[in-house]
Chain A
Amino acid sequence: MKTTMSTWRQPRKWAPYLFVSPFFILFGVFGLFPLVFSIYLSLHSWDPAAGLAAMEWVGFENYLYALQSDDWLRASLYNTFWMALVSGLPQHLLAMPLAYFLHSAFGRWRNAVVGAYFLPFITSSVAISLVFSTLFSRDFGVVNAVLASLKDMPLLGALMPASNIDWAQPQYTKWMISFVVFWRYVGWNVVLYLSAIQTIPKDVLEAAVMDGANSWQKFVHVVLPLLKPMAFFAVTLTIIGNLQLFEEPFILTNGTGGIDQAGKTAAMHMYSVAFTDGDFGTASAIAWLLFMLIAAATWFNNRLLGQRD
């Protein structure tokens, strides 16, 4: 009979652990340690320039300060939720019917059309946000040029602004950022919903046609209910991604958050508290507050869409 020692001498016993160890070592050092240390930091007041010894235990004071006295945090949270909703909700409302339509249209050209919608998702957010800041410029931007040309059209023209919009003004900043975020991620959701529709058995859809359902009825009564699990997954991704929005607003507002910081998100606020103000303790507290909000939003989504019937 073999002892434990001798079984461990067999490579097939320990090799698997060796094979999966790189992930756990890297995650331990660069993932888990920073997270734990971040909790520790959030409970301390600390000027990083003064060295580790200057760290002072303050309990939940950073959290209380952030919640009670940090007006910019409140404003940035409002901005974050505003843009998460305005850019996120239309993504899903559009992606579902669009995916359904693409599923049965365009034949051999379908991949090309899906590709056009998907392309923004894989391109550099910095590069494309820079391009968008040209497109959105007041006097010579393409967006204003398009809006101006639509003015001559019947019906639609009445909705168009009388003069060029200054997109840098606080009342427009969030719309501009939301549009860019919508543009970047709508195709990703189309692709997700399309892949879910493709798993619906053909005979289910055919049975609906037999029963006299038209295309729209088929979508509402057959496809939509079957899309629920994917909607849960896709909306979860949108919530997590949108609530930590950083790169698009950062570039579109040149790192400042825009006039009156109208486009500053919570993640941007955390970044500037940490690296502009040098207040690592409060920044860590803000990070965890935002994390809790994201967790709450995902939980709410779970209640809404995640229940198994």
Chain B
Amino acid sequence: MTLSTPLSTAHPSPEPTPTDAPDAAPVQKRLPLVLLLGYAVVLLGGLMMLAPFYFMFVFATHTNSEILSFPPPLWFGSAFLDNITELIKALPYFWNNLGWSAYVALAVTALNLFFCSLAGYAFALLDFRGRERLFGAVMATMLLPSFVGLVPTVLTMSWLGWMNEHRALIVPGACGALGIFMMRQYISSAVPKELIEAARMDGCSEFGIFLRIVWPLITPALGTLGLITFISSWNNFMGPLVILRDMDRYTVPMALRALQGTGQTQWGAICAGAAVAVIPLLLIFVMASRRLIDGLTAGAVKS
């Protein structure tokens, strides 16, 4: 699998770009050489960005002795299944680890979609005393660096009896401040307040309004938030590092980390494992990179 193919077809570029024409045309006339150089440098940089992924896939298909030769292999080999076998030998629970990663990420995502949109709806469209202050408090929590609470969080989890339990990774992350912010922004622009009033007149319950009126209108934002939440949970390393103790309960990043350091390092197996961990992210990226970028930068532009 090469990266260039899916990437180039992944961006049908839905928004029209003719607006760039007045910008680009005079540049092209005046500085063709400088412009060409610019294109070359930027493309070279782009290749450098993709190169580690390329080598990850190439090495995942080569035996250790092939990788350990100089110069290193530059094209795909045939040892992928051997590397997976090697990986399973080193990490007997690798499929469990994948399952746990998926379970944790999906649970965190589902909970965030529900709780963040519910709170975002209240902050966007409902009137209640202290609304602005409470929302300010939600935003302020984003400024707190997570590592400060790391040590006492571990103590809290052990008092709750949640050490080595996946719920210690799911429950604390079930309703993120960033998600509430994104949902509030989207709901206040996409859901007319009159619609809420009308539904209330018709006798719809408060929760019923959210479920039947608001929820169907915000599916695009739910999709974006879902992807962002899934990715960050899938990649989470700090949490599992201090919570999970047994190898059969590890998530994928923890399992990969366990490959390091013991005896002769099996680079082929490590790259195969890394590839398995990265493939779901690449698929998400290929399908929805524009959406991810827009979702992640939306808040930044407004602030």
**Nearest neighbor of A13 in chain B, beta-carbon distance:** B128
B147 with A267: CB separation less than 8 A: yes
Contacts of B35 in A (CB 8 A): 105
Contacts of B88 in A (CB 8 A): none
Contacts of A22 in B (CB 8 A): 115, 118-119, 174-175
Chain B 247-261 interface mask (CB, 8 Å, partner A; 1/0): 000001100110111
Contacts of B69 in A (CB 8 A): 140
Q: Within the complex, what minimum Cβ distance (angstroms) separates A208 from chain B?
A: 11
B31 with A215: CB separation less than 8 A: yes
Give the number of residues in A that approach B within 8 Å (Cβ atoms).
Answer: 98
Chain A 114-143 interface mask (CB, 8 Å, partner B; 1/0): 111111101111111011111100011110
Contacts of B174 in A (CB 8 A): 22, 26
Contacts of B24 in A (CB 8 A): 104-105, 107
Q: Which of A105, A275, A280 contacts B39 (CB under 8 A)?
A: A105
Q: Is A226 an interface residue (CB 8 A)?
A: no
Q: Which of B78-86, B91-99, B199-207, B215-223 makes up part of the contact surface?
A: B199-207
Q: How far does the alpha carbon of A5 sit from the alpha carbon of B69 in the complex, in Å?
A: 79
Chain B 22-63 interface mask (CB, 8 Å, partner A; 1/0): 111011001100010011001101111111110110010000
A19 with B141: CB separation less than 8 A: no
A11 with B206: CB separation less than 8 A: yes
Q: How far does the alpha carbon of A6 sit from the alpha carbon of B126 in the complex, in Å?
A: 19
| 16 residue pairs from A and B, CB less than 8 Å apart | A15-B207, A16-B122, A29-B172, A34-B156, A38-B148, A104-B27, A111-B289, A117-B45, A120-B52, A131-B274, A132-B52, A135-B52, A183-B49, A234-B300, A284-B152, A294-B145
B52 with A131: CB separation less than 8 A: yes
Instruction: List residues of A (251-309) whose CB comes within 8 Å of B's CBs.
Output: 251, 254-255, 267, 270-271, 274-275, 280, 283-284, 287-288, 290-291, 294
Contacts of B256 in A (CB 8 A): 126-127, 130
Chain A positions within 8 Å of B, measured between CB atoms, are: 11-13, 15-17, 19-20, 22-24, 26-27, 29-31, 33-35, 37-38, 41, 48, 98, 101-120, 122-128, 130-135, 139-142, 145, 183, 187, 191-192, 195-196, 199, 202, 205-206, 209, 214-215, 230, 233-234, 240, 244, 246-247, 251, 254-255, 267, 270-271, 274-275, 280, 283-284, 287-288, 290-291, 294
A15 with B293: CB separation less than 8 A: no
Q: Within the complex, what minimum Cβ distance (angstroms) separates A193 from chain B?
A: 10
Contacts of B10 in A (CB 8 A): 112, 115
Q: How far does the alpha carbon of A205 sit from the alpha carbon of B144 in the complex, in Å?
A: 38
Determine which residue in B30, B49, B128, B235 has the highest number of CB atoms from chain A within 10 A of its CB, and name it.
B49
Instruction: List residues of B (2-33) whose CB comes within 8 Å of A's CBs.
Output: 7-8, 10-11, 13, 17, 19-20, 22-24, 26-27, 30-31
Chain B positions within 8 Å of A, measured between CB atoms, are: 7-8, 10-11, 13, 17, 19-20, 22-24, 26-27, 30-31, 35, 38-39, 42-43, 45-53, 55-56, 59, 67-72, 115, 118-119, 121-123, 126-128, 131, 134, 137-138, 141, 144-156, 171-172, 174-175, 177, 180, 200, 205-207, 210, 231, 234-235, 237-238, 242, 252-253, 256-257, 259-261, 267, 270-271, 273-275, 277-278, 281-282, 284-285, 289-290, 292-293, 296-297, 300-301, 303
B270 with A142: CB separation less than 8 A: no
Contacts of B59 in A (CB 8 A): 131, 134
Q: How far does the alpha carbon of A42 sit from the alpha carbon of B271 in the complex, in Å?
A: 41
A114 with B293: in contact, given A247-B238, A290-B147 (CB under 8 Å)?
yes
Q: How far does the alpha carbon of A41 sit from the alpha carbon of B154 in the complex, in Å?
A: 13
A251 with B155: in contact, given A104-B24, A127-B274, A131-B274 (CB under 8 Å)?
no
Contacts of A29 in B (CB 8 A): 156, 172
Contacts of A124 in B (CB 8 A): 234-235, 237, 252-253, 274, 277-278, 281
**Nearest neighbor of A234 in chain B, beta-carbon distance:** B300
A127 with B123: in contact, given A104-B20, A108-B13, A110-B17 (CB under 8 Å)?
no
B152 with A33: CB separation less than 8 A: yes
A254 with B115: CB separation less than 8 A: no
Contacts of B271 in A (CB 8 A): 130-131, 134
